[in-house]
Amino acid sequence: MGIFGRKVDDEFDALIHAIGRLLHGKGHDLQRAVLTDLVSRWIMGHHPSQRRQALAIHVQAVRDLIELNEDALSDHKRGEPEDW
């Protein structure tokens, strides 16, 4: 079980899988545009006085997850993506 509890973990896994399927093969530029727009809308939902801090926390979380996701990918797939 993850840090948010079983129900959230199940919903998280389902959303990650669904979004991943939608973005798969769309190219880096389109993926970046979609993810950037979604994050900007999420940040916009914060009070203006909290947006800078929310973005900083988000960026740090992304940085922290890169290594974890790389480790998980290498355990699953072994090796780097073909286009590296």
- What are 34-60's pLDDT values in tens digits? 999 999 999 999 999 999 999 999 999
> pTM of the predicted model, to two decimals?
0.73
Encode pLDDT of 8-20 as tens digits: 788 889 999 999 9
Residue 42 near residue 51, CB atoms below 8 Å: no
CB 19 within 8 A of CB 31: no
What percent of the chain clears pLDDT 90, i.e. is strictly above it?
A: 61
Q: Token digits for 67?
A: 């290594």
Say if residue 3's pLDDT is above 60: no
| Angle at 41 (CA atoms; ends 34, 25), nearest 5 degrees | 10
| Tokens found for residue 46 | 């914060």
Mean pLDDT of 15-30: 96
CB 1 within 8 A of CB 11: no
